[in-house]
Structure 1
Amino acid sequence: MAGLKLDIFFAFLLYVSVVSSPACCIARLVDQLNYKASSCKHVPLFVFGDSYVDAGNNNYINCPEINRANYFPYGESYFEKPTGRFSDGRTMADFIAEHANLPLLPPYLQPGLDDYYDGVNFASGGAGNLEETFQEYHVLSFKTQIGHFRKVVQWFINKLGNDEGKKAISNAVYLFSCGGNDYLSPIFSPFQKHLPYSDSEYQELVFGNLTQHIKEIYDLGARKFAFMNLPIMGCLPAMRIYKPETNGSCYEEMSSKTRTHNQALSRILFELSNNLNGFHYSLFNLVGTMRKIMNHPKKYGFKDGKSACCGGGRFRGIQNCGQDENFELCESPEDYMFWDSYHPTERAHQTFADIMWNGSSRSFISMVGPYTVEQLFQIEVAGNTNPIDYIKNTSSSSQKYFD
């Protein structure tokens, strides 16, 4: 009976608006009513970052083939065609969306896209925290991605009105994968090979930009952030063959930068959570998870944790997957942690996303915190500032995971 009265009320409200309001106001009211009818625990997901979560934005920008994934065999395992994802199938962002009962999020640059109720993917392969990172590839930098997000915020406000639009933005979850390219670009980019900075000075630049970007997104209304630390950079198949004198071992210089970055990321997020009202975050220990699989692949359901499924040369560390006739392709990508010389397989992405979502895997203990991503989706934000009705991951302290 209560539901019937509510339906009658909404119908009456719509009738009054139709006879007394201009067409633009009527359209907004219809959007608001439709949104309210479907928004019971409906939480959008917005994705920022690099090729680990790119859904295909690089398909629509003028970047070279090496920085796109819109050709065979990319996408073969799930989509049976290339989509622009740097994997044989879905990515962590896709699996998180599925866990949240959302559709796979489209890339922001997809032509004709005009609906953002469920969220959208801004990520771009090659992007970094620094504007200069791989800019010769014309990638969408973190700063550019935030510019696109500003337009989406305005879209929500235009569609739902100021209060409901801001509430939707504040209740959304924001997923980030960013930082690795800031350390790869000085190695491979001719524009960054001779930077006048020490390692510590360069990292300060990276984190200065990252902190600024997080605060910008926070100022636009975001309150629930999901991060992952850097992957196992020094042990990527491409890095194992970068220095021949290492004889296939991990590249220690890159591993050292990864450790320093990840320690700083943990500290900075902890500080932001103490200084920004309503800032809640999840940090996934991606490097630790990858190290476990690399060292004991069979224990975690893989057969190979060091070599790529697709590529050339030793460890298939040459990044030529699908790009020339000399590339090699394994028979079973699900047996490998790495799809190509830099990126995980769909199977690995699913493993990572499952841990991020609920942190309940007995094989990967203490790899996410202080919240799981599932808990972030459960947090309800009143207006655009005050969090209510949430469950903290009380089994851990805020910095327990982030070494």
Structure 2
Amino acid sequence: MSSPRFLLGFLLFIACLLNLISVNSDGKQTALFVFGDSVYDPGNNNYLNISIQDKAVYWPYGETFFGFPTGRFCDGRIIPDFIAMDAKLPLWKPYLEPGSQQFTNGANFAASGAGVLPETNPGLINLRLQLSFFKKVASQLRQELGEEEGKKMLMEAVYLFSIGGNDITYFAGNYPNATESEQEQFLQVVIGNLTEVIKEIYEMGGRKLAFQNVGPMGCLPLAKQVNGISGDECVESLSEMARQLNNALLKAAQVLENQLEGFKYSVFDYYTSLYDIIKNPSKYGFQVADVACCGYGSNNASHCGIEPYYVCNNPSEYVFFDGAHPCESANILFAELLWNGEPEITKPYNMKQLFELDSDYPSGTLYSIMNRGQTGGSLINFPTL
């Protein structure tokens, strides 16, 4: 990497930040809080003492847009970056980045390897730990803005999630002989714990929540490489678990809408969108869908940036930059569907509609107040098989 290219990328990044901030300063913006895994991680893992394989801190990550690695598992911008741009918010800084930060625009807590359950990749930033970060931010905002204004801001904010894929990978790797009923039980535990987090955010004022569901796990280049599958085939057992989890997520969101006064949600069908691109890449302007742009192995799907590895000349021709994460050119398409998608792909609201919705102060609290003993930070545990 030449120093002029690095400097050019750095200056472009700063200019983009300043431009977005200036747009945002003209009027009051709705805040966005992001929770999730590596698909949404802006670089939080950079600040953990963990394996370098769980960080995207080396070239060629970031080469397309930033000109240097930012910690995003992509050649450029990730989906939350484009959503922030649509909402006239600044590009994301990692929540864990040292130094003082202002959170009136929101915060991104997502981290690579994160699961809903703490036993998924121990030592990384699971969803409940991300929730604890959000609670600190919410407390800071109430202190800075005043109790009433802080509560109002949290109520008007949008909360965006993309998580669950690592939980599936954890279960499949640790319980390869699990029965269908045991798989179903595990997925219900995942959804149960995700629901508890959602309820806590609701009790703190959150009313507008968006979810990107889990993609076709068995069709990722890394999954195919690990399982020795090539061509159009996928690891059906992984994709089936993803479909089941996605169905459970949608049902849970519908139940919460009936239980919680003022609760509004959006579910983006990332699974169907990514699957269609994988099966019909040329339809969307891509040439390669089963092999990653950067990596090593039969599908070029592991160790991107860690020698030995190969990197393609034009990432925009590839659906995947590394073995599990889309290129920026694909993220642009997904972000557009999340922001502006029709009901068959993003329902019942898209992100743009969520941002435009007004949240009224509720006349009551949780509809399910009788079940309060099951909320407030409890962890639903999965029994040992």
Superposition TM-score tier, normalisation by shorter sequence: 0.7 to 0.9
Quote the offset at 1:249 in angstroms.
2.2
- The answer to whether the Cα contact below 8 Å between 2:33 and 2:108 also exists between their aligned partners in 1 is yes
Cross-structure match for 2:244: 260
Could you tell me which runs of 5 or more consecutive residues in structure 1 were left unpaired when the two chains were aligned. Answer: 1-36, 387-403
Quote the offset at 1:265 in angstroms.
1.0
% of aligned pairs identical?
42
Map 1:80-159 onto structure 2 (within 5 A).
Answer: 80-135=67-122, 138-159=123-144
- The answer to whether the Cα contact below 8 Å between 2:42 and 2:110 also exists between their aligned partners in 1 is yes
Residue of structure 1 aligned with 2:36, choices 32, 44, 49? 49
Residue of structure 1 aligned with 2:346, choices 368, 379, 382? 368
Quote the offset at 1:113 in angstroms.
3.0
Is residue 303 of structure 2 the alignment partner of residue 320 of structure 1? Answer: yes
- The answer to whether the Cα contact below 8 Å between 2:41 and 2:72 also exists between their aligned partners in 1 is yes
CA distance in 2, matches of 1:174, 1:245: 37
Residue by residue over 1:155-186, the C-alpha shift from the partner in whole angstroms, topping out at 9 and shown as x without a partner, is 11111111111001111111100000001123
- The answer to whether the Cα contact below 8 Å between 2:292 and 2:323 also exists between their aligned partners in 1 is yes
SS of corresponding position for 1:47 = strand
SS of corresponding position for 1:241 = helix
Cross-structure match for 2:274: 290
Change (3 A) 1:333 1:247: closer
Quote the offset at 1:101 in angstroms.
0.5
Cross-structure match for 1:201: 185
- The answer to whether the Cα contact below 8 Å between 2:261 and 2:362 also exists between their aligned partners in 1 is no
Cross-structure match for 2:357: 379
CA distance in 2, matches of 1:373, 1:72: 32
Change (3 A) 1:354 1:271: same
Cross-structure match for 2:14: none
Give the residue type in structure 1 aligned to 2:146: G
Give the residue type in structure 1 aligned to 2:79: M
Is residue 322 of structure 2 the alignment partner of residue 340 of structure 1? Answer: yes
- The answer to whether the Cα contact below 8 Å between 1:171 and 1:222 also exists between their aligned partners in 2 is yes
Cross-structure match for 1:3: none
CA distance in 2, matches of 1:285, 1:247: 24
Cross-structure match for 2:205: 221
Q: Which moved more, 1:213-222 or 1:180-189?
A: 180-189
Is residue 60 of structure 2 the alignment partner of residue 77 of structure 1? Answer: no
Change (3 A) 1:367 1:385: farther
Is residue 152 of structure 2 the alignment partner of residue 170 of structure 1? Answer: no
Give the residue type in structure 2 aligned to 1:126: G
- The answer to whether the Cα contact below 8 Å between 1:105 and 1:118 also exists between their aligned partners in 2 is no
Residue by residue over 1:14-36, the C-alpha shift from the partner in whole angstroms, topping out at 9 and shown as x without a partner, is xxxxxxxxxxxxxxxxxxxxxxx
Quote the offset at 1:255 in angstroms.
1.2
Change (3 A) 1:147 1:384: farther
Cross-structure match for 2:369: none
Residue of structure 2 aligned with 1:310, choices 276, 281, 294? 294
Quote the offset at 1:106 in angstroms.
1.3
Give me the TM-score of the superposition, normalised by structure 1: 0.80
Give the residue type in structure 2 aligned to 1:358: N
Cross-structure match for 1:180: 165
What RMSD over aligned residues (CA atoms) do the two structures have, in Å?
A: 2.1
